[in-house]
Every structure is written in C-alpha cells, then in structure tokens.
C-alpha cells in the first residue's frame, strides 16, 4: 500500500538503523561468544514491538500508549510501525502481556499441570494468528545448529518458572529426553506438559524441531566453513529485517535453514516412543490438545499463508506429526486426526507433491503405518456414521473426515509410486505418441473427432509420472483399498458427483486407488450405460428429423455355425460407415433361435467368437500351453483389418460388461494403456527367455566365451520355419560382450514385445480405442485390474456363491431340493462347476469381486417331474423342479449342463 511520501521511510536508511541498533546492543551486552544469541533476541524484540503497534496485545483495558489495543495509537502504516519499533527497542519501552483465551492471573499458568489446557497458552490459541505465522531467527552453538523462536507474548511466564524451559520454542531429542528425565526424578511433569503444549501446537516451532544437523561427519575445516556460511546468512537476514517487517513477510526468514536441514526421523520416533512408554495421562492429554490446536491453526494457515504455495521448506510439522503413533487411537480419531487431515487436504498442489516426494524416501514399514492410520480413520468414520438414514439422506461423500483422509491418502499413494521401482523407458517415443494419436483420432470417426479422452490427474501431471511408470510400488497397491468404504459407497450417487465436476462435490471415483476393482467395475458399468442411453437418444432424434428408420442398438444377427464370419463382416461395415454405433448397447440374435438378448445371449456370443478366433489353427495368435496365454503371431497371413476387429470385440466385451475366456500376458494390457514392452515384461510373456537373458546380465565371467552370441537372433514361426533377424545393422558381426550385453537384452526384448508385432498390435489397439476412447478405463484401472475386467476373478469359491444366492417360487435355503442341490454342487469337479456357471449365467467366468458378486436365483419350477432344469441366463435364474430324490436331481442337473446348447421359448 503506497503511503504519503512525507511520512515514508527510506528502506536503506531503516536497514542501516536496524543494524546499528542491534549491533550496539550486542556490543553493550556481553562477550562475543553470546553474540548470535543476543542478535536473535534483539531481532525478536523488534518484531514484538512491531506487532504490538500494529495488532495490539488483545487486552481490552490495555493502558500502554504504544499498543494498538489501548486505542491511543493512530493508524500506522507498515513503514511507520517499523520505524517506531526501532525507536521503542532503543528506549527499552514497555511490552504488553498478550491476552489468552482464558483470563489468567499471574502465576496461574504454573499450576496448570494436568495437561488439559495447553491450547490456552500456545500461540495457536490466540485471537490473532499473525504472530504465530512468523518464523524466527536462527542461532548456532557448539556442534548442533539450533533455532530459537522469538518468545511469543502469550507464552511469557512468571519469574518463578524454571529457566531451563521458559525459552524453549523448538525441540531436539536430547532436550526433550533431558526434560523427561528431570520430570521423572521430581515426579512433576508440568515442565514437559508446558513444552509439549508450546512446541507441538505451533507449526513454526515443529518446523525447527528435531532437525538433522548437516555438520555431522564433517572435518573441523569443513565445519568451520559451514559455520561461517551460516553466520553470513544470518547477518544477511538481520540486515533486511525492517523490510520484512514492513512487508508482513517475517515467515520467509526461516526458509534458508530448512533448505539445508531435514527432520531426523529416527530421533522423532525415539521421542514418541519415550513419551508413549511414559504412559502419563497428563502428558498424553497435553499431546492430544497440542495436536488438536496445531491442526486447527494449520487448517487456516495452509490456505492463507503464501509460504505453503510451494511448501518445500514448510512441511516438517506435517512429517513430525504424522509420525505420532497415537494418531490412530480413539482419542485422536474423534477430533485431532480428522482436523489435521483436513489441513493436509487444503495444501496446494505443489506442496502436496513435495510432501509425496519426502514420504517416498521413507521405509515401506513407515509408509504402511501411515496408510493404516488413515484407513483406520476412514473405517472408524464409516462404521460409526449414520449414512442414508434420517430425514436428510447423507452419504459418505459428505463426511468431511472421510473425504479429507482420502485426500491425504492420495499423497501417500503417489509417495508409494515415487518410492517404488519406476521405469521411464517403457514410455512411448514422441514419434510413437504422434502415430498413436493419429490412430486414435481415426478410431473416433468423423462425428467424434472433437471429443477428448478423460482428463489427466493433476497430481500425476505435476509429478510427471503415472501408476503405469511404476513397475513395483513401495508397498502393495492393495493396501490402499478400503473394504468398509466400498461396501457403504453408493456408486450411482458417486458417479453422479464424478460427472458433475463443476458442482465441486466430492467423488471417490476421482480417487480410484481406494476403490476395489469390483466397485470401479460398477462405476464403469454406469458410465457405459449413460453413453449407451446418449447414443440411443441421439439415434431416435436423428430418425425423427431425417425420417429414416435407424436401429438404436448395435444389433448383430449371426448364424451359430458361422458366428465369426457373420460378426466380423457386420462389425467391419459399422467401423467403416459409422464408428459411433459401436457405443450403442449390443444386441445379439442367433438366426433360427427365439432367445431375447437381455445379456445372456451376448455372453454366449462372445464365448463362441473367442473360441474360434483364438484357435491356434487360424494362425492369428499363438498359444503358450505352459502359461495358457495367447500372443500375437508376427508371421500371420491375416490382414491388419482382422486385428482391428478383434480389438473391437475386446472393447465391446468390457463396454457391455461381459467376461471373456481369453488370457493375455500382462504386457498386452500395459501396451493397451500406452506403454512399450520392456525386458521386465518378458517375465510373464516368455519366462524361459527372460531367465536366459537374466543369466546373461548377471554372468560374472567372460561373456564371449561362455555364451558365444551376437546381435543376430533367430526364432521359429508357426509353420516350423527358422527366421533370423539382426538387432543391429550387421548384427551377425557384432559379438555380445560385458560392455554391450545390456543393449543386447533391451534390443532383444524390444523386438519380441514391440517391433515384431508392431503392425498387428497397432490395429488391435485401434479397434479397442474405437469403443473405449471416452471411457474412464485408463484413469480408474491399472493393467492388472483391466485383466480382471477381461478375464474375471480367479477366486472360484462356490461357498461364497451359496451365501449370496437368493431363492424364489417357494424355495428357501432349508428346502430339501436346495440342500441336495448344494451338496451336489460342492462335490463337482472344476470343469463341471464351470459348465454349471455357463448353463446358469451364460458365462463360465467368475465376475470381478468373486462369485459373491454373482446374483444367482434358484426358483421352483413345479412339482417332481422328469423335466430337465432350465435357466434364464439374462437374469441368472436357475429353474429346478422339486425332484423327489437327490440322485434324480443330480442325474437331471448333470445332463442339462452337459448337453445344453441354444436358446428357446419355455
């Protein structure tokens, strides 16, 4: 704010005056050994005078004429207040006592040893937080770099308080253990309670506590050089004090120290362990109240304080507080921990990313402990909340504690990625990305070129990496799933919040790491249904305007004996003429059969198509009998267009929520998500080759004599012919050595996984993108979870199916026929169980989430008779006559599931 020039003070003159006055006080005050301590105290006094003039002490009846609370001071500009502060410092004018939340008499603080009111005497609890937001100067002593905060007005003690604790505004392990020892010897824990209340409730104090000194391990000469550098930095900060006072930016003075020092985590953990072992109620209450006060102050600070826009040197208080082992205790779960999480959720993006980088350097055990604490908070709030009840329907999306904890978990999630095995070499080159973009736009069709894929996560964009870059996370991704939250979450409501981003409503689908694949699969189902409805409505509108009869469904009419030819021809016509029709709901009709497709017909259609297309005799894919996986045939005679149609079928299966009986190596799903295959991917795709190349990399003796290899490789095609390929120009003339063996392995893996099948896979992915281009599939699912969508779960547990089954038509779980049925089912082998699933649901695959997610219905179909059991595969209904004996039921059931084929009217 610009003031009257006649009243404005020149900054250079003011800085000179500050330096003169402060240096004068040092010269008059004592020996050179205490110079830095006195310089720090002098600067602190000037700052206190400044805030007394501008903010006041808070006492309504103050009679100090140099205090804003007295009403005797006219409004002062920042420059005027800074000049007057210097004058008051020179005159040693009176300083006021700041008014606490509770009006205490002198000496009352000494008696507060029960640990119940540390908030009342901490900087965080004052009416004005302007002073608490300002960080103090630094002071260096014999070996350890220590930071002394200027003594806040509200924490001045009576003269009877011990000199050993009254000036402590930061902590080291040695200091707090010393206080702890004295308290145990005197049986009086009041000093420890006060120090905890003072330091652990103030984020500036914690930022300067438990710092790891960078002087450890240095020689005497190096230590002296660093001491001189730190002194120069302090002098530089002292010279600019008046400028900082005038600009209200005192917090900036602490940034340099934090840049060079970091938290000694081992020290912090030992301190927490000592306090926990103490098991003193007053101390525990003090810590609880201090953390609560800290959380409340930080909740405001991270929003309004510009220091947190970057936050790289203001995050120590978060790191220290999150190490508190009591954060997941019931006392903290009520107020302190949720409030602290809310503060973290308000951190700017840059600060959150920096915090993730810090935590990524922690051990897996430490990171797991933090994740589990947040999981415990979420679970506690989910189980103790009253959701979807009462006059006003409340969901978990509206619980501030749950959503804030989820925000915090996102920071840990990316820390888990950053701290894991990250590989950037699997990313596509710029040329490949441009080529894929052209294919992608071509896949969208003429009417959809303006549409864009789902937006990128801002966190991933800021850090420059995604989950796909992480080969192995620091801790398993499954640690981030929260089952109680997934059970309570109303996915339809959450999906609505996800789609209406402009409303600012919280959606867990924006945090897919906390959701199980089954929950995300449900969200993907809603997304697909919304798009199907949109395409159907658009088709109907066009038919009304243009007067043409247009089918609102993607209808495929096929012959059972020619299912592949008929479906591929039809899909090829649609892909060429109008690719947007692929977004419509699939409707399959078998020629000559009367089944109405409500889902069951489509399931059998996909099963039949997959069985024929992936038959090795056709030659489009090769089959690994040991791994039971399929891979692209690099020497296939089929056209690229055929692979496009296969990609369309795979996309349609996901889009229409159908599970397929086909298994690819994991690298196929990584490539579909936009990554290249690398050497590590050979472990799943071709483990024998992977082990051979790994042995080459790890061989310690001479490689040339042992392996006798060069940069030319050979492989056998499906017809038994041997084909050779040079990995480099004149590869046969280049031997593999210790120096170039890494290059050889990378080129070998790149040829097998990428270059040899480049044309086939590009067309395959193009067809896949025609269906899934606008889907949130890539945002919500990792490659291993996409595999679950395609292949289903491997948890073949019929006990879970029995628990989830419903009964209709007069049957109950205790009916004799039902008891016979489950006894027969549990005695079946796996092949018979798959046939039962196929007969009942139209698919022999287990849905994502296991058989418990399969809603099977057993219904009565009349009295005892010789009729075979029948089913409605569209609705997962099995119709059973009330057979007279278990033997008859078993004979009829096995015959039905073994010879069932086709659809007919009942």
pLDDT tens, 10-60? 444 444 444 444 444 444 444 443 455 555 567 667 777 777 787 777 776
Q: Give per-residue pLDDT as tens, 196-237.
A: 888 888 888 888 888 876 544 455 555 556 555 544 544 444
- Residues 646, 664: Cα–Cα separation, whole Å: 13
pTM of the model: 0.74
Would you please indicate which residues are annotated as catalytic (active-site) residues? 874
Strand 139-140 and strand 145-146: the pairing is antiparallel
Q: Which two tokens stand for residue 443?
A: 């896949």
Q: Give per-residue pLDDT as tens, 581-604.
A: 888 888 888 887 766 666 677 888
- Residues 766, 438: Cα–Cα separation, whole Å: 10
Helices (H), ranges, 30-162: 35-54, 78-91
Contacts of 308 (CB under 8 A, 6+ apart): 301, 302, 314, 347, 348, 351
- CB 656, CB 602: distance < 8 Å: yes
pLDDT band (50, 70, 90) for residue 568: confident
Which residue ranges make up each domain of the chain?
A: 1-99+218-260, 525-666+764-791, 681-753, 798-899
- Residues 48, 150: Cα–Cα separation, whole Å: 8
DSSP state of 217: T
- CATH superfamily, region 798-899: Hect, E3 ligase catalytic domain (3.30.2410.10)
Q: Which of 170-179, 523-532, 788-797 has the lowest mean pLDDT?
A: 788-797
pLDDT band (50, 70, 90) for residue 320: very high
In percent, how much of the chain has pLDDT > 70? 74
**Residue 534 pLDDT exceeds 90:** no
Angle 814-484-498 from CA coordinates, rounded to 5°: 115
Indicate the CATH number of 681-753 among 3.30.2160.10, 3.30.950.10, 3.40.50.1000, 3.30.1330.10. 3.30.2160.10
At 45 the three-state DSSP class reads helix
Angle 828-829-834 from CA coordinates, rounded to 5°: 90
pLDDT band (50, 70, 90) for residue 380: very high
Strand 211-212 and strand 262-263: the pairing is antiparallel
- Residues 898, 893: Cα–Cα separation, whole Å: 9
- CB 600, CB 841: distance < 8 Å: yes
- Residues 48, 476: Cα–Cα separation, whole Å: 50
- CB 505, CB 710: distance < 8 Å: no
525-666+764-791 fold? Hect, E3 ligase catalytic domain fold (3.90.1750)
Q: Give per-residue pLDDT as tens, 600-656.
A: 778 888 888 888 888 877 888 888 888 888 899 888 877 778 888 889 989 998 988
Q: Would 525-666+764-791 and 681-753 be classified into the same CATH topology?
A: no
């Amino acid at each position: 704010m610009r003031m009257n020039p006649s009243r404005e003070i020149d900054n250079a003159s003011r800085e000179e005056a500050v330096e003169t006055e402060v240096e004068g006080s040092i010269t008059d005050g004592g020996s050179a050994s205490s110079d830095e301590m006195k310089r720090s105290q002098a600067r602190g006094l000037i700052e206190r005078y400044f805030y007394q003039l501008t903010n006041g002490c808070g006492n309504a009846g103050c009679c100090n004429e140099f205090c804003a609370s007295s009403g005797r001071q006219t409004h002062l500009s920042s420059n005027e207040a800074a000049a007057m502060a210097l004058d008051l410092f020179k005159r040693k004018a009176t300083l006021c006592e700041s008014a606490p939340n509770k009006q205490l008499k002198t000496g009352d603080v000494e008696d507060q040893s029960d640990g119940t009111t540390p908030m009342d005497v901490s900087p965080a609890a004052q009416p004005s937080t302007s002073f608490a937001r300002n960080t103090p100067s630094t002071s260096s002593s014999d070996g350890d770099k220590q930071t002394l905060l200027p003594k806040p007005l509200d924490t001045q003690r009576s003269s009877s308080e011990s000199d050993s604790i009254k000036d402590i505004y930061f902590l080291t392990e040695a200091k707090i253990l010393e206080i702890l020892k004295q308290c145990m010897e005197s049986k009086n824990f009041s000093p420890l309670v006060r120090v905890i209340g003072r330091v652990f409730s103030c984020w500036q104090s914690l930022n300067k506590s438990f710092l790891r000194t960078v002087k450890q391990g240095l020689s005497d000469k190096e230590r002296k050089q660093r001491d001189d550098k730190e002194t120069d930095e302090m002098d530089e900060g002292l010279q600019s004090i008046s400028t900082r006072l005038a600009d209200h930016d005192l917090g900036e003075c602490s940034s340099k120290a934090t840049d060079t020092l970091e938290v000694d985590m081992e020290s912090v953990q030992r301190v927490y362990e000592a306090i926990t072992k103490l098991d003193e109620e007053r101390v525990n209450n003090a810590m609880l109240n201090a953390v609560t006060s800290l959380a409340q102050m930080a909740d405001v600070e991270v929003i309004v304080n510009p220091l947190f826009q970057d936050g790289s040197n203001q995050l120590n208080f978060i790191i220290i507080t999150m190490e508190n082992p009591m954060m997941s205790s019931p006392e903290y779960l009520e107020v302190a921990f949720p409030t602290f999480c809310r503060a973290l959720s308000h951190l700017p993006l840059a600060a959150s990313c920096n915090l993730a980088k810090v935590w990524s350097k922690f051990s897996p055990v430490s990171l797991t402990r933090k994740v589990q604490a947040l999981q415990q908070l979420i679970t506690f709030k989910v189980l103790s909340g009253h959701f979807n009840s009462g006059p006003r329907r409340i969901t978990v999306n509206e619980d501030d504690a749950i959503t804030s904890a989820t925000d915090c978990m996102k920071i840990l999630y990316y820390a888990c990625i950053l701290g894991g095995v990250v590989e950037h070499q699997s990313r596509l080159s710029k040329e490949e990305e441009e080529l894929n973009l052209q294919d992608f736009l071509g896949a969208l069709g003429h009417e959809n070129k303006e549409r864009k894929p789902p937006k990128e996560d801002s966190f991933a964009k800021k850090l420059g990496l995604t989950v796909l870059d992480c080969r192995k996370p620091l801790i398993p991704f499954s640690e981030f799933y929260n089952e109680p939250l997934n059970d309570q979450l109303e996915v339809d409501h959450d999906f609505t919040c996800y789609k209406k981003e402009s409303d600012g409503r919280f959606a867990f689908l924006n945090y897919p790491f906390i959701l199980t694949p089954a929950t995300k699969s449900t969200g993907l189902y809603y997304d697909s249904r919304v798009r199907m409805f949109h395409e159907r409505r658009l088709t109907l509108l066009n038919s009304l305007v243009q007067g043409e009869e247009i089918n609102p469904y993607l209808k495929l009419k096929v012959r059972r004996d020619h299912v592949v030819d008929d479906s591929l021809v039809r899909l090829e016509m649609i892909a060429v003429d109008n690719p947007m029709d692929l977004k419509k709901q699939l409707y399959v009709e078998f020629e000559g059969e009367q089944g109405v497709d409500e889902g069951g017909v489509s399931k059998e259609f996909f099963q039949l198509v997959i069985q024929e297309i992936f038959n090795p005799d056709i030659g489009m894919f090769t089959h690994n009998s040991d791994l039971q996986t399929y891979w692209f045939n690099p020497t296939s005679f089929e056209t690229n267009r055929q692979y496009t149609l296969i990609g369309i079928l795979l996309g349609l299966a996901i889009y229409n929520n159908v599970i397929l009986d086909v298994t690819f190596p994991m690298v196929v799903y990584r490539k579909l998500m936009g990554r290249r295959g690398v050497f590590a991917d050979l472990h799943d795709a071709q483990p024998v080759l992977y082990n051979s190349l790994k042995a080459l990399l790890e061989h310690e003796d001479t490689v040339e004599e042992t392996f006798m290899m060069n940069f030319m490789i050979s492989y056998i095609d499906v017809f038994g012919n041997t084909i050779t390929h040079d990995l480099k120009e004149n590869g046969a003339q280049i031997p593999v050595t210790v120096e170039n063996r890494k290059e050889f392995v990378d080129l070998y893996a790149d040829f097998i996984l990428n270059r040899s099948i480049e044309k086939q896979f590009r067309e395959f992915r193009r067809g896949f993108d025609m269906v899934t281009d606008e889907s949130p599939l890539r945002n919500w699912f990792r490659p291993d979870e996409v595999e679950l969508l395609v292949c289903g779960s491997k948890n073949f547990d019929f006990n879970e199916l029995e628990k989830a089954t419903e009964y209709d038509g007069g049957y109950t779980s205790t009916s004799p026929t039902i008891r016979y049925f489950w006894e027969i089912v549990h005695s079946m082998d796996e092949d018979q169980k798959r046939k039962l699933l196929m007969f009942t649901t139209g698919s022999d695959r287990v849905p994502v989430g296991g058989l418990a997610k399969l809603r099977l219905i057993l219904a009565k179909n009349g009295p005892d008779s010789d009729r075979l059991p029948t089913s409605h595969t569209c609705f997962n209904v099995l119709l059973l006559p009330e057979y007279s004996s278990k033997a008859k039921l078993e004979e009829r059931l096995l015959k039905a599931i073994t010879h069932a084929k086709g659809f007919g009217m009942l």
